[in-house]
Chain A
C-alpha cells in the first residue's frame, strides 16, 4: 500500500533530551513537510523540503532540525532548545512543492515531554 507513515504514535521523553520523529513515504513524492499542532489549534509549519538534500525553515523552526538524505525519509529532531515541545506532530508529503498539489498526511506522533 502506498502511503506515509510516522512512528511511534506516542513518544515520551524527559526534559533536556533530544528526540527524533520518523517520517517515511513510498508515494515517490518530492516534497515533504513537518507541522506542529497544539490542542484546539491549526497546523504550524516547522520545516519543509522540496527535494533531496535541501530543506527550508517554516514558521516555527527554532529548536527543531531535519535532514533529507533520501527521497522517502524526512526525520525531525526535537532538540532540548525547543522550549515547549509537547505537541502533536504531523508529517506530510506532496508530489511537488508547487502550489496546486494536495498534501498527504501521516497519522501523527504525539510527543509528551516531562
Chain B
C-alpha cells in the first residue's frame, strides 16, 4: 500500500473552524511534504518538513512531524470556503531518495 496514508478520508467543517488532517507512513523518511489539489487541477505545494524538524508554520498552516510514531498532521486555522480541496501528504523514503510517494488524500469541504 501507499507509504503515506491520510486520515480522515473526508472532512466537512464550517468556515472559521480549524481543520486537522493526519498522515501516517511506514518507513523512515528524509522529508514529508503536504500538497493541495483543487478539483480537476494539478497539485500545489504547501509545506515541506524535514525529518529532523518537529513543527513548521506557514501562514494559517501548521505542520507537525512525529518520527517516532511515523505520523504528521496538517492544521489549517480559521478555515475559509476557498480552502475546500483535497490535501495530500508525500514522503521521500530514505531508501528511495528523490522519489516521493503520495497518500490517497483528505477531501476537505469548508461550508460558508
Contact present for A108 and B41 (CB under 8 Å)? yes
Check: A104 CB closer than 8 A to any chain B CB: yes
Question: Could you say which interface size class chain A belongs to?
Answer: 20 to 34
Query: Which of A40, A43, A98, A107 meets B98, CB within 8 Å?
Result: A98
A112 to chain B, nearest CB (A): 14
Q: How many A-B residue pairs have CB under 8 A?
A: 62
Check: B56 CB closer than 8 A to any chain A CB: no
Contact present for A42 and B2 (CB under 8 Å)? yes
Tell me the bound Cα distance from A102 to B35 in angstroms: 10
The B-contacting residues of A in range 55-102, CB under 8 angstroms, are 58, 88, 90, 92, 96-100, 102
| Residues of A participating in the B interface, judged by any CB pair closer than 8 Å | 31, 35, 40-45, 48, 50, 58, 88, 90, 92, 96-100, 102-108, 110
